[in-house]
A and B are shown apart, each in its own frame.
Chain A
Amino acid sequence: MTGFARTVWVITRKDLLVEARTREVLFTTLFFAISCVLVFAFGFVREGRPVSDAAAGILWIAIAFSGTLALGRVFERERHGETLRALLIAPIDRPALYVGKLVGILILLAAVEVVVVPLVALMFQAALFDHALLMVGLLAAGTVGFAAVGTLFAAMLVRARSRDVMLPILLYPITVPVIIAGVRGTAALLQPEGGLPMARAWLAMLVFFDVVFITLALWTFEPVMTE
């Protein structure tokens, strides 16, 4: 294992171990995502019949909103005991710290999606699993793009007093293309026929966004973390 990959693994494993002890982020994020889906279900499901095409938007709103909650905590734990300073003094590649944090949050968001996607499929009678592989691809690519930007902004805001307010204000405008591509790709998958090529096109666009966002984040993380 290279030094970079080893550092990523050490950071991710520590974050997951802390989360396994507290379950703070997982439970709050999951609770928020489920609440979000249920509230929308009360609004958009009438007499057992959901409003058509609502499922895709609601799924991605639940992921984005609950993801924002989780992202707000990514660097918060490193701030409490000032462990972030200890990590910044350590002889590690700082982008490896970013990637380690990103992988940790992706695993948490994947756990949330494992619950939320079937819930949306059930509540909105959406055939989200008819093209399961493509759906997983859209979810993975969309979540990576959203979390890549969110992790960088969470790092930028770690010393800001109003970080809880600033994170969504900064995050949503930048990640709008990711959320739109996720919604349109998922909506295309739910079309009775002819939606697959469109879903693949949106997936390709999400992968493009991921490459751009991760490249920019790796490039800017070091200066962002230097006071």
Chain B
Amino acid sequence: MDFTNLQFIDVTRTFGRRRALNRVSLAVEAGTITALLGPNGAGKSTLLSIAATLLQPTSGEVRYGDHAASNGGAALRARIGMLGHDLYLYPELSAAENLRFFARVYALPDVEQRVARGLELAGLTDRADDVVAGYSRGMRQRLALERALLHDPRLLLLDEPFTGLDEAARGALRERLRMARAAGTIVVLTTHDIAAIADLSDRSLTLVEGRLAA
């Protein structure tokens, strides 16, 4: 299953009486980086969770090319990579073990080659067997990004990926996202940090109280 665009069509999501997203419509294309800006509670993470199929919209529809989220199932999830504010890593395992575990969960071929490539791209080859609990925030972030990209997803969703990174780590992350964009990945990220995405994103959208600002 493949797709070259992601569309939100009039998507609303409520939690009880609170409306986290309010009739949001947007389309993003393959090979682009879209930044979602907005204050805390604007609905950015909810939008990413819906795009990742972790949440269902209360109303409206999300389409992945010609496919609806509701009938995509495992084949659709296999094409989505996500990096949350929490990094989705096991601190008790080493970098290599984390990547190996997720490669096996995704039933990827050539596990060891992919793990070695992921470690190389994360710049962690020499720390491959150290447990993640001992890594700096930047090292964890780089590893988490390679974890999210391990299965060559078509859609990459990143929730506040620049938080807590120093300038060198932010530069490395921006470079890796440019590589993903060049490979035809649809990249959608949320951030408060406009400077971090100034020369990176193809498009910036602002969410305010669940609505896309004009």
Cβ contacts under 8 Å, A83 to chain B: 88-90
Cβ contacts under 8 Å, A91 to chain B: 74-75, 77-78, 106-107
Contact with B along A81-103 (1 / 0, CB 8 A): 11101111111110000000000
CA distance A93 to B91 in the complex (A): 25
Are B91 and A81 in contact, with the CB atoms below 8 A?
A: yes
Cβ contacts under 8 Å, A226 to chain B: 56
Interface residues of A in 9-32 (CB under 8 A from B): 10-11, 14, 17-18, 21-22
Are B84 and A85 in contact, with the CB atoms below 8 A?
A: yes
CA distance A92 to B74 in the complex (A): 6
- Smallest CB gap from B77: residue in A: A91
Interface residues of B in 17-57 (CB under 8 A from A): 49, 52-56
- Smallest CB gap from A79: residue in B: B86
Q: Is B152 an interface residue (CB 8 A)?
A: no
User: How many B residues, CB 8 Å from partner?
Assistant: 31
Q: Which of the four size classes fits the interface of chain A?
A: 20 to 34
CA distance A91 to B103 in the complex (A): 11
Are B90 and A18 in contact, with the CB atoms below 8 A?
A: yes
Are A14 and B90 in contact, with the CB atoms below 8 A?
A: yes
- Smallest CB gap from A14: residue in B: B101
Q: Is A194 an interface residue (CB 8 A)?
A: no
Interface residues of A in 97-154 (CB under 8 A from B): none
Are B90 and A81 in contact, with the CB atoms below 8 A?
A: yes
Give the shortest distance, in Å, between B88 (CB) and chain A (any CB): 4
Are B92 and A18 in contact, with the CB atoms below 8 A?
A: yes
Cβ contacts under 8 Å, B104 to chain A: 6, 10
Cβ contacts under 8 Å, A82 to chain B: 84, 86-88
Q: Which one of B54, B91, B97, B107 lies within 8 Å of A89 (CB-CB)?
A: B54
Q: Is B105 an interface residue (CB 8 A)?
A: yes
Contact with B along A210-227 (1 / 0, CB 8 A): 000000000000000011
Are B105 and A81 in contact, with the CB atoms below 8 A?
A: no
Q: Is B82 an interface residue (CB 8 A)?
A: yes
Cβ contacts under 8 Å, A6 to chain B: 104, 107
Give the shortest distance, in Å, between B118 (CB) and chain A (any CB): 14
- Smallest CB gap from A21: residue in B: B92
Give the shortest distance, in Å, between B89 (CB) and chain A (any CB): 5
A–B pairs, 30, beta carbons within 8 Å: A6-B104, A10-B104, A11-B105, A17-B97, A18-B90, A18-B92, A21-B131, A80-B86, A81-B86, A81-B87, A81-B90, A81-B91, A83-B88, A83-B89, A85-B54, A85-B84, A85-B88, A86-B82, A86-B88, A86-B147, A87-B105, A89-B82, A90-B102, A91-B74, A91-B75, A91-B106, A91-B107, A92-B74, A92-B105, A226-B56
Binding site for B on A (CB under 8 A): 3, 6-7, 10-11, 14, 17-18, 21-22, 77, 80-83, 85-93, 226-227
For the complex of A and B, 3 pairs with smallest distance between CB atoms = A82-B86, A91-B74, A86-B88
